[in-house]
Structure 1
């Protein structure tokens, strides 16, 4: 009986230690990201993902860092390298969390990285895919503020490209902001809604 209790105690202690390492690693990676150390943050998220192969968030954040770092690049080889790496991370995240709206809209953001670099080359094949991704994410999570904002931004970009008004999407951005302010996230390290960023997007919409 004593041996059984001891084994259970050791097992619980082992799980707690592993969880603590995961939490510490994730917090450190977010800290590097906030400091603007994108490469270091991505590498740490990648290491955590390999150490925690059943968790989707480390790979998701590794992909997100790479995707955000692709915008503004002038060299297509560098862009392709970053986004190919990001796709590998996203594929890992997908394997651990199917039909996840956060991953779906991040896939759309990755596609947008290519389109933003060269709309003529990538727009034809990826624009339709993005519309499908946002529709799928909205069907799964119609009140997710990140999904609503991402969809509105995508539609604004398309409207601007074709010389149309972005005004029809302002209400959706306002809705996303209200939902974002009310959102209560209890799951550790779950993506959060950036109200200040959404408010900046709204200013651009209302011009």
Structure 2
């Protein structure tokens, strides 16, 4: 009888902790598309919050994943290029922790690709040759792991859009790839309410910006 009560009590506590975790995650994920947080400082603040959740929930990979996502966006938005590598390093540390818990995953490979891309911005002429292929290799892995992941095609299109034509970029191919991404977004169903689902709105913005 006592054992049953102890087990029931433990189950209730675990369930309450799980609900608290999901609630905290939903709240922060809801801020990802908010104009109030879409800035270098906003992404830094969100990353800090996800890192705190990750440290409290050491067996969950998603807080580390979102911390990395926010950090790499912070790197993209960095006004001072000498800060990019330090922020990208933090993103890499978080996504490696996510991968240690989750294993190989298409969403994780997408973030690894974004991190490599962020480093190019420091000095495109000298870094493009190193980090461009690295970013592409991560995207290829992401596609193999899940060909239906719309974020793979969004990132491929973004690469085509911002790469000079002399190096293989193409606005026409970018638009075609974004259209594939939107079809994938329409069919995509996240694994859970807190699983990655970002990118559709941004893809539409990128298509609209192509003249």
Q: TM-score, normalised by structure 1?
A: 0.88
| Of 169-178 and 83-92, the range deviating more from structure 2 | 169-178
Partner of 1:132: 137
Runs of 4+ in structure 1 deviating by more than 6 angstroms, as ranges, are none
| Of 166-175 and 29-38, the range deviating more from structure 2 | 29-38
The 8 Å contact of residues 150 and 184 in structure 2, kept in 1 or not, is answered as yes
Partner of 1:80: 85
Rounded to whole Å, the distance in 1 between the matches of 2:169 and 2:23 is 47
The 8 Å contact of residues 72 and 117 in structure 1, kept in 2 or not, is answered as no
**Equivalent residue for 1:200, pick from 201, 205, 210:** 205
Partner of 1:166: 171
Partner of 1:99: 104
Counting only pairs closer than 5 Å after superposition, residues 16-55 of structure 1 correspond to structure 2 as 16-31=15-30, 33=32, 34=34, 35-36=36-37, 37-55=42-60
Rounded to whole Å, the distance in 2 between the matches of 1:3 and 1:68 is 51
Partner of 1:150: 155
Partner of 2:14: 15
The 8 Å contact of residues 71 and 117 in structure 1, kept in 2 or not, is answered as no
**Deviation readout 1:67-100 (Å, 9 max, x if unpaired):** 1111242433322221111111111111112221
Rounded to whole Å, the distance in 1 between the matches of 2:172 and 2:192 is 34
Partner of 2:61: 56
* Alignment RMSD: 2.1
Count of residue correspondences: 205
Q: Which runs of 5+ in 1 are unaligned?
A: none
Rounded to whole Å, the distance in 1 between the matches of 2:144 and 2:29 is 30
Q: TM-score, normalised by structure 2?
A: 0.87
Aligned-pair distance for 1:135?
1.0
The 8 Å contact of residues 47 and 70 in structure 2, kept in 1 or not, is answered as yes
Partner secondary structure for residue 76 of structure 2: coil
- Cα distance 1:186–1:127, how it changes in 2: closer, same or farther (>3 A)? closer
The 8 Å contact of residues 94 and 100 in structure 1, kept in 2 or not, is answered as yes
